[in-house]
Each structure stands twice: as structure tokens, then as C-alpha cells.
Structure 1
Amino acid sequence: MCLCCFTISTAEVGVIERWGKYSRLVQPGLNVICCPMESLVGKLSFRVQQLNVRVETKTLDNVFITSVVSVQYQVLRDKVYEAFYALSNPARQITAHVYDVMRSQLPTLELDAVFEAKEDLALAVKNALSEIMTTYGYQIVQTLITDLDPDQRVKNAMNEINSSKRLKYAVAERAEGDKILKVKGAEAEAEAKYLSGVGVAKQRKAIVDGLRTSIVDFSDHVEGSSTKEVMDLLLLTQYFDMIRDVGAESHCKTTFVPSSRGAPDDMRNALLQSAAGRL
């Protein structure tokens, strides 16, 4: 017989057998065994390990979906014997239970509900695995559903539905905006017409007040003048002011001036009729 030396890394434990029978566990550091009676048959790590399980199944509304479940697990320090000897392949055992839970839960949910029930599905997987794997010396630290991937055509259809809903809301909001613009425009137009009428009324009143004041002042300062003569003078003055303004326009080429014998009286009558029509 001879002594054999070996080392165990931190966060690991070694399993020693004597003549093929379990003997003891060895801790991290330098260890010695008696060869060939004893042998190091394996090591177990206490580090957290992760296993990604890809499951494909269908939902309640007959849509096939692929889900990825990430299971984080580690060996229990007080159950190293069970972890080493009870299971030959713990990863396959975990995979089988994940398949069982996911393929029993997903067919009860519609596709939209699956995305909302991720936390519930992950909790169901964790509870099922914890109940089984604890007896085999493994602790389930956490389970996460990291991906839910339906068929590409289904995703395109879901995007089209969402796009159509948003487009419908956009059209309704745009129509509401056009309605507000038209209503406000009509209110503004009504207010503008009202103010324009008020302005015209004030303008006409100012014209009448100005004519009355001019007639009274002219009659007071010029003796022998009648009201008719003052009105004729004012109308003639306005007429010539109008002729001057029209002639000053760049696009004006010709100005017609009446020249018949009764032109002054005709012009006066026309101006009076025009003023009477405005007032």
C-alpha cells in the first residue's frame, strides 16, 4: 500500500470509497488516501449551476410556442451522499420535470395570457422541482422563464392587430382635432363678423357726428349759408378726394368726369343717394 495525495478546490467536496463502498467525504485542500484500498470516485460542486430547458408546446388557442426555462440549482451540503449516489444525471431529471410542468400548464392558457402569467409559470416549475429534487440532495435556487417565442407568422399577426388598434385611435383623435379646429374657426368667424358690424356701426356714427359738427360750425362762421349749400360743399369735397385717391392708384389709367350742363346736380343727387344707401 501507498499514500496518494490530491487536492480538492474551494466550494467542492470529494467522495471517497474503500473497496468500492462509500467511505467518507473530503473537504477542500490537500488530502491523502491509501491506495489501492481507497479511491477518489468523484467531486461535487456547491456552486450555483444553471440549466436552460427549451420547451415547445401549444396554448389553449392552438398556437405553438417555444419557451426557455432557466433553472438555477446547487448541491445541499448536508445531502452530498444523496446528490452523488441518488441520481446519475441530475440535469436530465430536472429537464424531465420542467417538460412535465410546462406542458401541463401552457395548454390551459391562451397566447396573450401566457405572457402575463410568466411569474406564475416560473413559480409552478420551482415548486414542482423543489419538492422532487430536495430528496435527491439538490436545492432549486430560482427558476426563470427567459423567453417566450411563438411562430413568426403569429407574431406578425399580433403586431398587425396592435397596429390596427393604434391606427383606429389615431384616426379618432385626428377627427376630434379637426372638429375642434372647425368649431373654434366658426366661433372666431362669428366673433370677427360681430366685431366688424360693431366697427361699421361706430364708423357710420362717427361720420354722421362729423358731418353734423361740420355743418353746424360752417353755418355759425359763414353768414347766409344754408344747410343745403354746406352739404353740397362737403359732398363735392369728398367726391374730389375720391377722384384723387382713384387717380393715384398705379393700375388706374382713365378717370371719367361728368361734363353735361346738369352734371353738378346729377352728381349731387348721386352722392346723396349713395350716402343715404350707406347710412
Structure 2
Amino acid sequence: MCIPCCICVSTSEVVMVERLGKFDRILPAGLGIVCAPFEQNAGTVSFRVQQLDVRVETKTKDNVFLQTVVSVQYQVIREKVYQAFYSLTNPQQQITSHVYDVMRSQLPTLELDAVFEAKEELALAVKNALQETMSEYGYQILQALITDIDPDIRVKQAMNEINSAKRLKFAVAEQAEGKKILQVKSAEAEAEAKYLSGVGVAKQRKAIVDGLRTSIVDFSDGVRGASSKDVMDLLLLTQYFDCIKEVGSSKNCKTTFVPSGSTSATSIRNSLLIADSAKLC
């Protein structure tokens, strides 16, 4: 006797119906009827995209052990529901085995630095290998992603130290170059300052000479009977008294000796000339 039983099938799913242990039909999404006890629900197949994360541990060409996480996104092919349900007992285990095979054959050929740069190539190799195999069993591989590359903690610390040393070396070189530029610019500024100081002193001396010459000529023309010698005596005496005034008004000056007595301008002039001659010698 057949007893009808109602089955509700969710969207994006199908139910595999067996009659007396043999596959009979596929119930699509919606309301389905199964005649018990001759028919039964053998299982449900989902068409949703599924993801399987596979963690693989292996070593690189330079003998560094690392762990990688490969995320495989797969989906059942609607036209091959029968193969997807009855071909494999555990499709996740099948995918994991193929991921192990590809990763453990590819990573030992690459050095650690190259592994981080070859993520796209590794993911593509995994996808191609899985697509070629799993399509026969009713599964399509949508994407394979290398989501994590995790070497040993000591290796990561060593890599960080190498990078830090390189950056420190670059910083020291830039700092030294900056000091060099400062020293060069300082030397150029000092040379320019000395040059300008020399030009100023030369102009000052020229102005003094021109002033003296003009004063001598004007004094000789304005005072009858005055000779150039008299003018020079007067100028030297004036400079002498100006010097005494400057020395006496200085804060550090305590005592100033001024010659006294009937000293003529000529003797003062001769004394100044003798002092200048001694200084030049």
C-alpha cells in the first residue's frame, strides 16, 4: 500500500528520491510528494556557493616552513546533480587532497620572498587542477584564493629586522648627506662673508684716504701759509684725542695716562709715527 507524503524543498535545493533503494527522480524546489514506504528521501543537494578553507603546512626552497590557507569556492552543476550526489562520498575531502597535492608540489620550488609575490600563480594552479578533476563529479570551481601565508614567528621577526636595518641604513645615509650639505653651505656662507668683509674694509680704507686727501687740500687752500705737514700733524693729533676719548669712555677702562707738560704737536706726531713704525716692524 502506497501512502503519499508531502516534502517541502527549499529554494536552490533539490531532493534525491529513491524507490526501493534505486534512484528514481529529482524533486525541485517547492512541494513534492513521496509514496512511502516504497520511496524515500535519499538526500538534499544545494546549488548555493560553498567555501572550503584548507590549511597546508609545507616548506619553501630555502627550507622555511610556513602555513598557507587556501579558500576554495565551489558549486554543484545543475546538469550534473546525479554525479554530484552519487559519485563522491565526501567532496570536501576530495578538494582538500587536491589542494595539498598542488601546494606541496609548487611551494618547495619557490623561496620565501617569492611565495608572497606568487600568490596569484599559486591560486590559479590550484583552481585549474581542481576544475579539471571536480567537473567530472558534478562540481565547478568558482575561485581559489590564497588568503593567508604564515611563516614561523622567528622568521617573521628576522624579516622585519632585515627591513628595519635597510631603512636605518638609508636614514643614516640621508642624515650624513644632510650634514654634508649644511657644512658645504656653511663654508660657502663663511667664504662669502669674508669676501664681503674684505670688500667693506677696502672701501672703508679708500674712503678714509679720500677723506684725508680732501681735508688736506681744503685746509691748505683755506688757510694761508699752511703746509701739508701741518695738516697731517693736526689730523694725527685729532685722531690721538679721539682715541683717548674712546678708551676713556669704555666700561672696562679704569685708568687713562695722558702725557702732560710742554709737549708740542710735533713731538706727539713723532711719537705716534714711531709707535706705528714699531707696530709695523
Q: Using a 3 Å threshold, how does the CA distance of structure 1 residues 271 and 8 change in structure 2: closer, same or farther?
A: farther
The 1-side partners of 2:164 and 2:19 are apart by 70
Unaligned runs of 5+ in 2: none
User: Structure 1: which amino acid aligns with 2:187?
Assistant: A
Q: CA deviation at 1:135?
A: 0.5
Q: Is the 8 A contact 2:9 2:30 kept in 1?
A: yes
Q: CA deviation at 1:256?
A: 2.3
Which residue is equivalent to 1:59?
60
The number of aligned residues is 278
Alignment of 1:1-279 (within 5 A): 1-259=2-260, 262=263, 264-272=265-273
User: Structure 2: which amino acid aligns with 1:205?
Assistant: K
Q: Percent identity at matched positions? A: 70
Q: Is the 8 A contact 2:70 2:144 kept in 1?
A: yes
Q: CA deviation at 1:264?
A: 4.5
The 2-side partners of 1:195 and 1:273 are apart by 33
Q: Say which SS state the counterpart of residue 157 (structure 2) adopts.
A: helix
Q: CA deviation at 1:274?
A: 6.7
Q: Which moved more, 1:63-72 or 1:26-35?
A: 26-35
User: Structure 1: which amino acid aligns with 2:209?
Assistant: V
The 1-side partners of 2:10 and 2:124 are apart by 33
Q: CA deviation at 1:270?
A: 4.8
Q: Using a 3 Å threshold, how does the CA distance of structure 1 residues 126 and 153 change in structure 2: closer, same or farther?
A: same
Q: Say which SS state the counterpart of residue 249 (structure 1) adopts.
A: coil
The 1-side partners of 2:164 and 2:11 are apart by 55
Q: CA-to-partner distance for each residue in 1:20-47, whole Å, 9 max, x for gaps?
A: 1111111111111211121111111111
Q: CA deviation at 1:62?
A: 0.6
The 1-side partners of 2:20 and 2:13 are apart by 23
The 1-side partners of 2:275 and 2:105 are apart by 96
Q: CA deviation at 1:265?
A: 4.1
User: Structure 2: which amino acid aligns with 1:109?
Assistant: L
The 1-side partners of 2:275 and 2:33 are apart by 130
Q: CA deviation at 1:140?
A: 0.5
Q: Which moved more, 1:26-35 or 1:107-116?
A: 26-35
Q: Using a 3 Å threshold, how does the CA distance of structure 1 residues 138 and 215 change in structure 2: closer, same or farther?
A: same
Q: Say which SS state the counterpart of residue 255 (structure 1) adopts.
A: coil
Q: Say which SS state the counterpart of residue 89 (structure 2) adopts.
A: coil
Q: CA-to-partner distance for each residue in 1:220-267, whole Å, 9 max, x for gaps?
A: 112222212212222222222222223222232222223365574454
Q: Using a 3 Å threshold, how does the CA distance of structure 1 residues 84 and 233 change in structure 2: closer, same or farther?
A: same
Q: Using a 3 Å threshold, how does the CA distance of structure 1 residues 56 and 274 change in structure 2: closer, same or farther?
A: farther
- TM-score, normalisation: structure 2: 0.93
Q: Using a 3 Å threshold, how does the CA distance of structure 1 residues 263 and 125 change in structure 2: closer, same or farther?
A: farther
Q: Say which SS state the counterpart of residue 10 (structure 1) adopts.
A: coil
Q: Say which SS state the counterpart of residue 25 (structure 2) adopts.
A: strand
Q: Using a 3 Å threshold, how does the CA distance of structure 1 residues 48 and 271 change in structure 2: closer, same or farther?
A: farther
- How large is the RMSD of aligned CA atoms in angstroms? 1.9
The 2-side partners of 1:40 and 1:143 are apart by 33
Q: Using a 3 Å threshold, how does the CA distance of structure 1 residues 260 and 148 change in structure 2: closer, same or farther?
A: farther
Q: CA deviation at 1:275?
A: 6.9
Q: Is the 8 A contact 2:73 2:141 kept in 1?
A: yes
Q: CA-to-partner distance for each residue in 1:181-239, whole Å, 9 max, x for gaps?
A: 22222222211111111111111000000111111111111222221221222222222
User: Structure 1: which amino acid aligns with 2:151?
Assistant: P
The 1-side partners of 2:113 and 2:270 are apart by 87
Q: Say which SS state the counterpart of residue 245 (structure 1) adopts.
A: helix
Q: Is the 8 A contact 2:233 2:265 kept in 1?
A: no
Q: Say which SS state the counterpart of residue 56 (structure 1) adopts.
A: strand
Q: Say which SS state the counterpart of residue 251 (structure 1) adopts.
A: coil
